[in-house]
Amino acid sequence: MRLEVEVGGLRLKSPVMNASGVLEWDPIQARRLIDAGAGAVVLKSTTREPRRGYDWPRMVRVFGGFVNAVGLANPGAREASKLVRLIKDSLGGAPVIASAAGSSVEEFLEVSALLEDGGADAVELNLSCPHFRGGGIELGQDPNLVGETVKNVAGSLKVPVIAKLGLSDRLVDSAVKALGGGARALTLINSVKAIKIDVYTKKPVLSNKVGGLSGPAIHPIAVRAVYDVYRETGADIIGVGGVRDWETAVELILAGARAVQVGAMLLEKGELIVAEIIRGIEKYLWVEGIQSVRDLVGLAHKA
Ligand SMILES: Cc1cc2nc3c(=O)[nH]c(=O)nc-3n(C[C@H](O)[C@H](O)[C@H](O)COP(=O)(O)O)c2cc1C
C-alpha cells in the first residue's frame, strides 16, 4: 500500500518503471523488471513502418551519462502489436505502456490503434525524440501540434494516452495543450539534444552527429521541468531523466511526479537498480514517518 500509486488512470504497485527505449522486445526481460518491483513496463517507441535505425556508432558514454542516436529502430507497428500481446501475457496483469512515434497525426493514430489492439494498457506518445527528423522534437516544440496530435489519438483510443514531452522553452504550453487534448498524464522529459566530438578525428562521434543526452547529467533539468509543469497544471506526471537511486527518484516525486522512469542507469545496471530504488523509497518513507508515496507528490511546492 505504501508504494501503490495511480497515474493517468493506471494503478501501479510501485512508482518505478523503465523508460521507453531501454528494454528489448523481450517478455523475459519485461517479466524480470516486474519481478524486481516495477509498477509497469514501457516499450520502445514504434513507428508505422519498420526502421533499422541509424548506423553505428549510435551511443557514446559522456560524463554523467550517454549520448544516443539509435534512430527509433523498431519492427513497425504491426509486428510491435503482436509483441505487445506476447509481453502483456507474460506479466501476470502488470500494466504495459506502449510507445508510439510518428511524423504525422495520421501515423500517430495508426500506430496507437495497433498498439491498443495488441493489449497495451496505455499509449505513451513520443512527441519529443531529439534525433528523429520530421517527428520528435520538432513536433513536441509546437504546442498546437502537440494538442492536435494528442486530441486525435486520445479521441480514438479507449486506453489512456500519455504525452511524452521534452525540454523546450514552451514546455508548459505544450503540457497545457496535451492535457487539453485529452492526455491523462505527461511523461517528462526525453533526452536532451547533445553532441560528443572526438578530439582526434575532430568529428562528432555518432553517425547521426546529434543525439540525446540521458543519465545523471540531465537529472536537475528533469526536476525543474516536472516542477514547472506540476506548478502550472497539477497534472499526473511521470518523471524521467537521470534517475540513478532512490534519492533522485524521490526528488522527481517531490517536484510533482506520481511515478518515475529509469532509462540510462537501467541500461548500465540492469533491473537490480529498480529493486534498489524501491527499497530505498520504502526506507525513506519509514524514516520520515510518511504513510504512502502518494503523500510525497509535489511536496516541494509547499516549502
Ligand atoms: C538508448 C536509448 C534509447 C531511447 N529510446 C527511446 C524511445 O524509443 N522512445 C522514447 O520516448 N524515449 C527514448 N529514450 C529516452 C528515454 O526514455 C528517457 O526519456 C531519457 O533517456 C531520459 O531518462 P534517463 O536519463 O533515465 O535515461 C531512449 C533513451 C536511451 C538512452
| CB-based pocket (< 6 A), ligand 1 | 19-22, 44-45, 59, 66, 68, 70, 72, 99, 126, 164, 190-191, 214-215, 218, 240-243, 262-264
SS3 per residue for 116-172: HHCCCCEEEEECCCCCCCCCHHHHHCCHHHHHHHHHHHHHHCCCCEEEEECCCCCHH
Torsion of CA 211, 99, 105, 127, to 10 degrees: -40
Pairing between β-strand 211-214 and β-strand 65-68 as defined by DSSP bridges: antiparallel
Digit-coded pLDDT (tens) for 173-225: 999 999 999 999 999 999 999 999 999 999 999 999 999 999 999 999 999 99
Digit-coded pLDDT (tens) for 251-262: 999 999 999 999
Domain holding 152, by residue range, is 5-302
From the number of C-beta atoms within 10 Å of its C-beta (0-12, 13-18, 19+), residue 90 rates as middle
Digit-coded pLDDT (tens) for 15-59: 999 999 999 999 999 999 999 999 999 999 999 999 999 999 999
Torsion of CA 243, 246, 252, 256, to 10 degrees: 150
The CATH number of the domain holding residue 211 is 3.20.20.70
- Stated length of the chain: 303
Q: How far is the CA of 29 from the centre of ligand 1 (A)?
A: 17
Looking at residue 164, its amino acid is: K
Domain count, the chain: 1
201 classed as catalytic: no
Digit-coded pLDDT (tens) for 225-253: 999 999 999 999 999 999 999 999 999 99
Give this prediction's pTM.
Answer: 0.98
